[in-house]
Amino acid sequence: MLIEAVKLTVSLAIILLGAEVFTNSVEWLGRKLKLGEGAVGSVFAAVGTALPETLVPLIAIFSSGPGSAGHDVGIGAILGAPFMLATLAMLVTGLTAIIKRRNNEPLNINTGVIKRDMRFFMVVYAVAILATFLPGFTLKAIVAGALVFAYIFYAYKTIRSSMGQGGREENPAPLYLWRRSADPYLAVVLVQLAAGLGIIITGAFIFVGAVQVVAMVLGVPVLILSLIITPIATELPEKFNSIIWMSRGKDTLALGNITGAMVFQSSIIPALGIILTEWKLEPIGLISAVLAMGAIIFQYTGVAGKHGLRPLHLVVGALFYAVFIVAVIVI
């Protein structure tokens, strides 16, 4: 247990380092491609930092047979990722804003970008969850294809709407691998981007392995492990990136990093789950999906409302998470 505790601490430091390197390079990537914060946060950063939690369910599914515990871990991780993003990731981002600014003033976000992310999430995630009630593989496969198409359409719309907007934001901090230049080469930016992503993935895998050992020692059931512990570990990149951006006043990047990852996690990843498993969701999994949807609907009211999205809208995600924990205990 002591060794695993040390691994947890070290892996957190590794993920934090990777997140700092990654956010610095992805901002420069957006600047070099002349893209606005919408594409940078909701597509490039979101997909990049979503890789750890994408790999975990795939490894769990491919390393085990149908109906096995591995498939349960995979499905749990798929459902747990959007839930953690909608609740805990939003919570820590909102708390960062409150602590840094010492107020509950509306966030300075591009409402068009964030509303688009949230609307896409609510539609595609509802479709993915409802697919569990479809009879036969053929209908489910059609839904999986529709989810993939929906994400491609979303990414296209987001990138297209951000083209030519890269000069509107303030200059990013100097690129860590090329600090001597105010305009680093694109190749150097891509090298640092890959390095940051590699550091994040390495830290996430160390964290997941250590958490699983601790959970086994404590006797945590597989379903609870897959729905709660694994997603918490693999969602750390989004949390750290968003904390960094929110603390620097880059609200659209901070929130778009989370909402963009939610779109990816509710479309591409469930599509893989639908194709590779029987996609029969247990009651506790359905509860997590409903609560994730409820949290985002509440936050959407803030984005779409005339008073704007405030940090406390995000902090309320903790209540939805608390309801889930109660449901886990009761069920």
pLDDT tens digits along 112-129 = 889 999 999 999 999 999
Extract the tokens encoding 85.
């993003």
Q: Is the distance from CB of 178 to CB of 184 less than 8 angstroms? A: yes
Q: What is the mean pLDDT of the chain?
A: 83
Distance separating alpha carbons of residues 44 and 281, to the nearest angstrom: 30
**All structural domains of the chain with their residue ranges:** 34-166+221-330
Is the pLDDT confidence value at 285 over 80? yes
Q: Is the distance from CB of 202 to CB of 18 less than 8 angstroms? A: yes
Of 39, 322, 285, 297, the closest CA to residue 164 belongs to 39
Give the model's pLDDT for residue 52. 64
Distance separating alpha carbons of residues 250 and 45, to the nearest angstrom: 13
CATH 1.10.20.10 fits 34-166+221-330, yes or no: no
Q: Which helix (H) or strand (E) holds 11?
A: helix 2-32
Is the pLDDT confidence value at 289 over 90? yes
Beta bridge partners of 163: 35
The angle formed by the CA atoms of residues 93, 97 and 123, to the nearest 5 degrees, is 40
Phi-psi map region of 291: left, alpha, beta (phi>0 left; psi -120 to 50 alpha)? alpha
Extract the tokens encoding 318.
């903790």
Give the model's pLDDT for residue 117. 93
Quickly count: other Cβ atoms within 10 Å of residue 202's Cβ: 15
- Taken in order 200, 201, 202, 204, is the CA torsion positive or negative? positive
> What's the Cα-to-Cα distance from 251 to each of 128, 187, 194, rounded to whole Å?
29, 27, 24
pTM above 0.75, yes or no: yes
> What's the Cα-to-Cα distance from 304 to each of 94, 110, 126, 216, 297, rounded to whole Å?
17, 11, 20, 44, 10
Beta bridge partners of 35: 163
Give the model's pLDDT for residue 323. 94
CA 284 to chain centre: 20
Q: What is the mean pLDDT of residues 211-221?
A: 69
> What's the Cα-to-Cα distance from 258 to each of 62, 86, 98, 308, rounded to whole Å?
27, 8, 18, 18
- pLDDT per position as a tens digit, 142-191: 999 999 999 999 988 888 877 655 544 556 788 998 888 888 889 999 99
Q: Is the distance from CB of 214 to CB of 61 less than 8 angstroms? A: no
Q: What are phi and psi of 150, to 5 degrees?
A: -60, -40
Distance separating alpha carbons of residues 96 and 244, to the nearest angstrom: 9
Q: Is the distance from CB of 208 to CB of 230 less than 8 angstroms? A: yes
